[in-house]
């Protein structure tokens, strides 16, 4: 009764919009193609119109990003939203598990390796961020048996890149019993450290880090809380990003 009268009294404000937005936020079903095309039309009218000058400049002068952002292909991790970035800010490599193959196998995984070389030696970025995340399917898959299946061949091979991560974690745990969630988080965070180490095997990365022109950062994004922790190498631990001193 009371709710109804309230709604009648102020028809403009509450009933329509907030409830619609709420549903959109809570619905985890990905948008279909039709919706994406509709959204593109809105982007043209709104975002593009507002940022016309920026796009014109980016088209004429090319890109000059300072940051190379390596993260997972996971649809829940969106670099430009997490960092509130504009076009031209981030050069992005998205690859399953945000794994970085060591340089010795660069030619086997040349798609990934070429993005690293381009970011570091052509664009000359100043920072590389390796951003892992919670609930990572690739890190979980390291502990599963992937079937011998032509539809899973590449996945099986790609997960081998992170085999050393799994071995290290299992050694760390030893005989302790660890629940699945803890095991996954430990693997996700250990993996970030290993990928940083692998990046340093690339000649361009090594040269520019040693010359003080490039810094590498490890970030861990918690999907549930929206928080990021960064890897502090000196203390060998992850710390809330708010406390980063640079």
Query: Can you give the pTM of this predicted structure?
Result: 0.88
Are the C-beta atoms of 96 and 138 separated by less than 8 Å?
A: yes
Give the contacts of 208 (CB within 8 A, at least 6 positions apart): 120, 124, 214
- Cα 213–Cα 215–Cα 198 angle in degrees, nearest 5: 115
Does residue 37 carry a pLDDT above 90? yes
Of the candidates 194, 191, 202, the one whose C-alpha atom is nearest the C-alpha of residue 118 is 202
131-173, pLDDT tens digit by residue? Answer: 999 999 999 999 999 999 999 999 999 999 999 999 999 999 9
Q: Are 78 and 53 in contact (CB under 8 A)?
A: no
The whole-number pLDDT of residue 28 equals 86
Residue 22's pLDDT is 54
């Amino acid at each position: 009764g009371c709710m109804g009268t309230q709604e009648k009294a102020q028809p403009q404000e509450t009933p329509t919009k907030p409830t619609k937005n709420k549903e959109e936020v809570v619905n985890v079903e990905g948008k279909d193609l039709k919706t994406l095309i509709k959204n593109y039309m809105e982007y043209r009218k709104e975002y593009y119109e507002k940022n016309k000058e920026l796009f014109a400049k980016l088209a004429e002068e090319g890109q000059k990003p300072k940051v190379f952002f390596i993260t997972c292909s996971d649809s829940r991790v969106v670099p430009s939203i997490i960092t509130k970035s504009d076009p031209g800010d981030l050069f992005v490599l998205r690859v399953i598990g945000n794994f970085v193959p060591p340089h010795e196998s660069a030619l086997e995984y040349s798609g990934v390796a070429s993005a690293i070389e381009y970011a570091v030696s052509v664009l000359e970025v100043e920072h590389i961020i390796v951003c892992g995340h919670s609930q990572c399917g690739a890190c979980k898959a390291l502990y599963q048996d992937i079937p011998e299946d032509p539809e899973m061949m590449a996945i099986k091979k790609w997960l081998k890149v992170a085999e050393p991560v799994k071995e290290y974690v299992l050694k760390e745990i030893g005989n302790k019993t660890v629940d699945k969630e803890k095991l996954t988080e430990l693997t996700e965070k250990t993996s970030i450290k290993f990928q940083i180490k692998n990046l340093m095997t690339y000649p361009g990365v090594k040269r520019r880090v040693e010359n003080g022109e490039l810094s590498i950062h490890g970030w861990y994004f918690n999907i549930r809380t929206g928080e990021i922790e960064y890897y502090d190498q000196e203390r060998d631990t992850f710390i809330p990003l708010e406390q980063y001193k640079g």
